[in-house]
Every structure is written in C-alpha cells, then in structure tokens.
C-alpha cells in the first residue's frame, strides 16, 4: 500500500486528480481521501522534494492506494493531473508520521470512487 499526497488550488482540481489517479493511472484508492492541513502538506512536500515550492496549496489530501509504491510512481508519471501529486514511499521519514496521522484526519467531502460502481 502506498500513501499519496495531493496538493491543489481548489477542491475541483483535487477531485479531478483523484479521478485521474483511478481512471488513467489505474490505481485503486483504498478507503476515503483524508484532508490534510495545506500548510503541513506544503512543508512535507518541500522536505521530500528538498527544494522550495513554487506555490502554496489551498487544499490538500492524503490517500492510500492498494498498489505498491513503485507501481504507483510509474503509473502516476504517465498522467498529467491538474494538481501536484507526490507518492510517499516508506524510505522517507515523514511516511510513518503520516501513516499514524492518517486515521485521525477528516474525510474529504464530495469524493466517490467510480471504481465502486461496478466498473
């Protein structure tokens, strides 16, 4: 299972990105996306990328996908979602902190998986 951080300008772009991850990258979202404080998401993204971010996010979520980290990275690199997507592997120190934090986060409203419709 992999953790994916998505940073976006608005909820519409965020939801479109999750749909792109499911439809075009072919990854299966496990459970519901969880809202992460945008400032925290920006800090984590900066640490993982080891560079200054060009823009701040207005909304951010964490999602779990059933696929492993390597497959998630390979498939997400092939799509062009409207938001910033970071696959967080176990090798990053932030992974364990985010794993523990995940269950305590609020669900993202407005999300539903097209995969659950029998597709």
- pLDDT tens for 62-116 read 999 999 999 999 999 999 999 999 999 888 888 998 999 999 999 999 888 766 5
pLDDT of amino acid 7: 97
| Token pair of 97 as six digits | 């902190």
**How many CB atoms sit inside 10 A of residue 49's CB?**
11
Say whether pTM exceeds 0.85: yes
Lookup: tokens for 93: 């120190």
Percent of the chain at pLDDT > 70 equals: 95
**Mean pLDDT of all residues in 15-39:** 95
Q: HSE-up of 100 (CA within 13 Å, CB side)?
A: 4
107 bridge partner residues: 34
Residue whose tokens read 């519409």: 12
Which pair of tokens denotes residue 102?
């995940």
The two structure tokens encoding residue 92: 């990053």
């Amino acid at each position: 299972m992999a953790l994916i951080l998505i940073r976006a300008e608005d909820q519409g772009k965020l939801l479109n990105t999750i749909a792109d991850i499911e439809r075009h990258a072919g990854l299966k979202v496990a459970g519901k996306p969880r809202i992460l404080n945008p400032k925290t998401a920006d800090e984590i993204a900066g640490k993982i990328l080891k560079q200054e971010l060009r823009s701040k996010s207005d909304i951010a979520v964490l999602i779990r996908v059933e696929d492993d980290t390597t497959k998630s990275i390979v498939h997400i690199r092939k799509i062009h979602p409207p938001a910033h997507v970071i696959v967080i592997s176990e090798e990053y120190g932030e992974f364990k902190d985010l794993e523990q934090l995940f269950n305590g986060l609020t669900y993202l409203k407005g999300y539903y998986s097209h995969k659950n419709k029998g597709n």
